[in-house]
């Protein structure tokens, strides 16, 4: 049984991951900024009698991370597995997104990871044992307007994680990057329901991509179960694409040169919809302005 700390567990991938580890018998500290948002997780934990404890950690705060992780380590002993999942995904063009939003999403998605890593690494290094799994996205390797504010943080996280894995390996500390595609989470549904007032054409058609994708079953448990598998398997593989469209989208991007990809993203709506239909068989126009998501 490992002691596992997971950030961002109030919903979505974080909650699913906490449940996957708890059901496997690991001792889980499921952290979030506001415990009042953890009611559903607490209900399932209590109903199933899982070894999952909800705790407060705000990854944007130096003091919250430092004190929260120190308190958990004092109560439970060393943390064996750290899963950095906390994050959010704003939509918007570079021109129209306030600088404060860029700073806020970087604070959570990137600097929040660094805070947590720095809090657990000394003890892992001293024990010469540990596992750090960072939840990135295929958006950490594919830039696709209008998700630039979010994608910038995930590109940064990918570089951080690759360097961190090199630093940790001599001390037997495994590092891994999980790269989900479109997964049915509250964040994905917000993107699907987004109605654009932008001067740029990308936002509405991007929402249509999410609506169409969410018609198929792609629960957050797919990611939670894969993270559990990574932690338990002892693998040193760095990157793990997860979800029905993750590997296909990564392969699609690799089929383009950089210049071709820029041209693809710059197409007008009609040409872009036709390209998606011809290349991927996705008739996204059918989902534009008529977004209806399946019930959860």
Between strands 81-84 and 239-242, the pairing is unpaired
Q: Is 273 a catalytic residue?
A: no
* Cβ pair 51, 22 in contact under 8 A: yes
First to last CA, the chain: 32
Task: Report CA torsion sign: 110, 227, 57, 66.
Answer: negative
Q: Of these residues, 110, 150, 252, 273, which one is catalytic?
A: 150
Q: Give the angle 187-151-162 at the CA atoms, nearest 5°.
A: 110
- CA distance readout (Å), 110 to 104, 161, 251, 276: 10, 10, 25, 31
CB within 8 Å of 258: residues ≥ 6 apart: none
CB within 8 Å of 82: residues ≥ 6 apart: 4, 5, 116, 117, 120, 130, 131, 132, 133
- Of 90, 101, 104, which Cα lies nearest the Cα of 60? 104
* Cβ pair 109, 161 in contact under 8 A: no
Structure tokens at 65: 């991370």
User: What is the chain's percent helix, strand, coil content, to nearest 5?
Assistant: 55, 15, 30
**What is the Cα 228 distance to its own chain's centre?**
15
**Catalytic positions, please?**
150
């Amino acid at each position: 049984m490992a002691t596992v700390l997971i950030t961002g567990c109030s919903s979505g991938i974080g909650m699913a991951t906490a449940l996957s580890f708890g059901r496997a018998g690991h001792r889980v500290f499921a952290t979030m900024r506001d415990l009042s948002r953890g009611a559903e997780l607490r209900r399932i934990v209590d109903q199933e009698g899982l070894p999952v404890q909800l705790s407060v950690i705000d990854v944007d705060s130096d003091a919250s991370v430092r004190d929260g992780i120190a308190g958990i380590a004092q109560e439970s002993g060393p943390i064996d597995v750290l899963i950095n999942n906390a994050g959010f995904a704003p939509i918007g063009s570079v021109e129209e997104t306030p600088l404060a939003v860029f700073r806020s999403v970087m604070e959570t998605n990137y600097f929040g990871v660094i805070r947590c890593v720095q809090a657990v690494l000394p003890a892992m290094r001293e024990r010469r044992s540990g596992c750090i799994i960072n939840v990135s996205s295929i958006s950490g390797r594919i830039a696709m307007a209008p998700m630039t504010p979010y994608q910038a943080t995930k590109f940064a996280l990918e570089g951080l994680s690759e360097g961190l894995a090199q630093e940790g390996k001599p001390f037997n500390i495994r590092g891994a990057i999980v790269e989900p595609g479109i997964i049915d989470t509250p964040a994905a549904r917000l993107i699907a329901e987004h109605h654009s007032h932008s001067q740029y054409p990308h936002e509405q058609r991007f929402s249509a991509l999410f609506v169409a994708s969410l018609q198929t079953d792609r629960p957050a448990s797919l990611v939670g179960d894969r993270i559990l598998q990574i932690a338990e398997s002892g693998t040193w593989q760095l990157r793990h694409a997860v979800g029905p469209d993750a590997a296909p989208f990564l392969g699609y991007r690799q089929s383009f040169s950089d210049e071709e990809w820029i041209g693809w993203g710059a197409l007008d709506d009609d040409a872009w919809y036709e390209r998606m239909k011809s290349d991927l068989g996705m008739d996204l126009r059918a989902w534009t302005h008529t977004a209806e998501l399946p019930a959860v």
